[in-house]
């Protein structure tokens, strides 16, 4: 019965946007018109700009632990984000934190799930009223802050952009076989019964159907949909010193048809469980300074964390207390190096959110129009090693005064400039098979008088790194003997003194590419939304020199009793 109700809800939500009249969109447009015509408090400024962003979400979530079902949930939600600004395009109430850094977010809340016109108007009115009152307060405080700090270099707060109208209807909903997925998730979680060194594990599946609507006071309006299917495999171990290590594998697809067969998912789970088990008995980490070869996920995350994240978020909000800005943890440091060399001359980078796939693989960073109603297009970021552009929203900066269609974010955060589909192009003469990269790695180590070199196959994801670090620590790192090429797993280690020089120190890349689908976290520590993104990059990168040291993290005591399942068996 539950499955039948789920299907009815899915079909209802999927069909709603295609109806003769979109009730939600009508309510948004009508309340927007009333806001701009009549909203004003006493003799204070009236809004000069407003926008409504509404997301419908239908989610199926299933999780299992050790072969048993842990969670099985179905939900239908509708959430809204409202931005109201007073002032003018050249200087308005946005981008100012004030005294409440923890509350730096747009007015947002859950709306009624049914398409009740009057109820929707009421909710939007309430959010708009709240946003307007806060905008008046922020505007006054921001003007005082600017005067106090004597800030004279201003570039505007909202760029003028072309009015857009984009409407896309969902054609059909792929049927989800919930009982089959329950069994799949249970069976995948049961794989960990073969690995006694793993202390905790979990497998989680989620299918989300989204319909996004947007209107602003300039007449821009859009509606489009996107689906997401994800699988997360998580495990925790303690190494022989007691150091706790957790890691996960995340897989994302845009359709059920793109999900590989069970055997492939099982093989991925087995490989992950083996990798985690190896971490229990590693060699002791040492200080290392020399060449490093990044492979697989580590190669993609190396480029994401050092390059992609640092050409995102070019504009940091103003805060009354300067030390609060550290919680705005990604401030686009590479954007300060426009027209300078940030990568080797044999690498170029572009971003194209309009691409749906690459070499037959789905790109999860695809979208037709950004959160602010600006259409994206192909964007050249790096030409022959030189930074020529970076991601922009409608918040101008010194170098660029217009959006390039990359304002993205979740409902509860301000949209910020972020990636879509990032493509790294390497000139053929600097590409070689991975076996050749390993030979070159060992050759460099020998020339430097080292007994071993280092290969990193997995890094912690961006969300796990310390706010002050440029690059997250390795999860899977290996000493590779110069003498015979044998590999030994290294225990807990972390990078020392990583700088953007590491990007310029790329010597060679593999001759094969990978599609790395992931979720990029937002810049604000207290309110981090995640957006789907993709990196197309070589499967391996050889870096001339990096430094590793033993981790500063403290170990914990091992469990006093073993896992009862393995003791029994």
Q: pLDDT per residue over 96-131, tens digit each? A: 987 777 778 999 999 988 889 999 999 999 999 999
Identify whether residues 352 and 498 lie together within a single domain: yes
pLDDT at residue 180 tops 50: yes
List the single range of 123-127, 186-190, 321-325, 422-426 with lowest mean pLDDT.
321-325
d(CA 78, CA 106): 16
Identify whether residues 381 and 505 lie together within a single domain: yes
| Cβ atoms of residues 332 and 313 within 8 Å | yes
pLDDT at residue 533 tops 60: yes
Q: How many domains does the chain have?
A: 2
Q: What is the mean pLDDT of residues 326-355?
A: 90
CA nearest to 112, candidates 24, 37, 33, 184 = 24
d(CA 352, CA 364): 12
| Cβ atoms of residues 528 and 413 within 8 Å | yes
In a domain, 245, yes or no: no
d(CA 29, CA 385): 45
Share of the chain above pLDDT 90, in %: 78
pLDDT at residue 239 tops 90: no
In a domain, 193, yes or no: no
In a domain, 10, yes or no: yes
Q: How confident is the model at residue 1 (pLDDT cuts 50, 70, 90)?
A: very low
Vertex 363 angle, CA 162 and 248, to 5°: 125
In a domain, 240, yes or no: no
In a domain, 560, yes or no: no
- Give the residue ranges of DSSP H helices in 236-328: 262-278, 297-306
Q: How many CA atoms lie within 13 A of 526 on its CB side?
A: 13
Higher pLDDT, 465 or 223: 223
Rg (CA), the chain: 25
In a domain, 333, yes or no: yes
Q: What is the mean pLDDT of residues 534-540?
A: 98
Please give the backbone phi and psi of residue 344, each rounded to the nearest 5 degrees, phi first: -60, 155
Q: How confident is the model at residue 20 (pLDDT cuts 50, 70, 90)?
A: very low
Query: Which DSSP state fits 318?
Result: B
Quote the pLDDT of residue 331. Answer: 65
Quote the pLDDT of residue 14. Answer: 47
Identify whether residues 6 and 136 lie together within a single domain: yes
Identify whether residues 170 and 314 lie together within a single domain: no
Q: What is the mean pLDDT of residues 373-393?
A: 98
In a domain, 420, yes or no: yes
In a domain, 273, yes or no: no
Instruction: Give me the torsion for CA of 97, 98, 104, 106, rounded to 10°.
Output: -90
pLDDT at residue 516 tops 70: yes
pLDDT at residue 270 tops 80: yes
Q: What pairing do the DSSP bridges indicate for beta strands 452-459 and 288-295? A: parallel
Quote the pLDDT of residue 17. Answer: 44
d(CA 138, CA 95): 9
Share of the chain above pLDDT 70, in %: 96
d(CA 127, CA 377): 32
Give the domain range for residue 497.
288-550
d(CA 513, CA 511): 7
User: Residues 463-504: pLDDT tens digits?
Assistant: 888 878 899 999 999 999 999 999 999 988 999 999 999 999
Q: How confident is the model at residue 16 (pLDDT cuts 50, 70, 90)?
A: very low
**476 membership: H or E segment, kind and range:** strand 474-481
- 206, two tokens: 């989620």
Vertex 32 angle, CA 97 and 87, to 5°: 40
Secondary structure of the chain: what % helix, strand, coil (to 5)? 30, 35, 40
424 beta partners:
349
Q: How confident is the model at residue 330 (pLDDT cuts 50, 70, 90)?
A: low
Q: How confident is the model at residue 15 (pLDDT cuts 50, 70, 90)?
A: very low
């Amino acid at each position: 019965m539950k499955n039948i109700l789920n299907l009815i809800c899915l079909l209802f939500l999927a069909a709603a946007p295609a109806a003769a009249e979109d009730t939600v969109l009508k309510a948004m447009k009508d309340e927007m018109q009333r806001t701009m015509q009549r909203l004003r408090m006493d003799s204070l400024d009236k809004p000069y700009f407003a926008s409504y962003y509404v997301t419908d979400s239908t989610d199926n979530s299933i999780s299992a632990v050790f072969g048993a079902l842990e969670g099985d949930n179905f939900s239908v939600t509708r959430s809204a984000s409202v931005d109201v600004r007073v002032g003018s395009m050249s200087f308005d109430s946005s981008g100012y934190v004030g005294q409440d850094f923890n509350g730096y977010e747009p007015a947002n809340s859950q709306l009624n799930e049914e398409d009740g016109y009057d109820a929707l108007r009421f909710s939007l009115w309430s959010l708009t009223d709240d946003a307007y009152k806060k905008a008046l307060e922020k505007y006054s405080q921001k003007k005082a802050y600017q005067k106090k700090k004597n800030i004279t270099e201003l570039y505007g707060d909202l760029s003028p952009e072309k009015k857009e109208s984009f409407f896309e209807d969902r054609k059909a909903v792929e049927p989800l076989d919930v009982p089959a997925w329950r069994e799949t998730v249970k069976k995948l979680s049961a794989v960990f019964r073969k690995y006694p060194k793993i202390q905790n594990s979990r497998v989680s599946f989620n299918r989300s159907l989204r319909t996004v609507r947007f209107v602003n006071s300039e007449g821009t309006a859009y509606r489009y949909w996107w689906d997401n299917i994800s699988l997360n495999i998580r495990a925790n171990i303690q190494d022989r010193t007691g150091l706790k290590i957790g890691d996960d594998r995340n897989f994302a697809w845009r359709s059920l048809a793109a999900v590989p067969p069970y055997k492939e998912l099982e093989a991925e789970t087995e490989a992950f469980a083996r990798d985690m088990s190896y971490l229990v008995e590693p060699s002791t980490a040492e200080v290392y300074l020399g060449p490093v070869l990044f492979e697989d996920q580590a190669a993609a995350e190396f480029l994401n964390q050092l390059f992609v994240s640092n050409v995102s978020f070019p504009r940091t909000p103003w805060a009354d207390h300067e030390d609060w800005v550290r919680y705005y943890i990604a401030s686009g440091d590479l954007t300060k190096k426009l027209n300078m060399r940030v990568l080797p001359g044999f690498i170029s980078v572009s971003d194209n959110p309009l691409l749906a796939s690459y070499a037959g693989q789905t790109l999860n960073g695809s979208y037709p129009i950004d959160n602010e109603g600006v259409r994206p297009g192909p964007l050249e970021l790096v030409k022959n090693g030189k930074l020529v552009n970076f991601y922009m929203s409608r918040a101008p900066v010194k170098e660029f005064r217009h959006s390039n269609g990359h304002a993205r974010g979740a409902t509860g955060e301000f949209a910020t400039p972020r990636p879509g589909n990032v493509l790294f192009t390497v000139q053929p003469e600097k590409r070689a098979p991975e076996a050749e990269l390993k030979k070159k790695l060992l050759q460099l180590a020998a020339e430097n008088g080292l007994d071993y070199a280092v290969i990193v196959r997995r890094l912690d994801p961006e969300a796990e790194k310390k706010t002050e670090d440029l690059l997250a620590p390795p999860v899977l790192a290996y000493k590779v003997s110069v003498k015979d090429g044998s590999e030994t797993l290294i225990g807990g280690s972390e990078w020392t003194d990583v700088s953007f020089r590491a990007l310029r120190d790329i010597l060679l890349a593999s001759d094969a590419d990978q599609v790395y689908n992931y979720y990029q976290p937002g810049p604000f520590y207290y309110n981090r939304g995640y957006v789907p993104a993709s990196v197309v990059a070589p499967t391996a990168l050889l870096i001339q020199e990096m430094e590793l040291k033993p981790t500063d993290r403290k170990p914990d005591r091992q469990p006093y009793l073993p896992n009862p399942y393995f003791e029994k068996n």
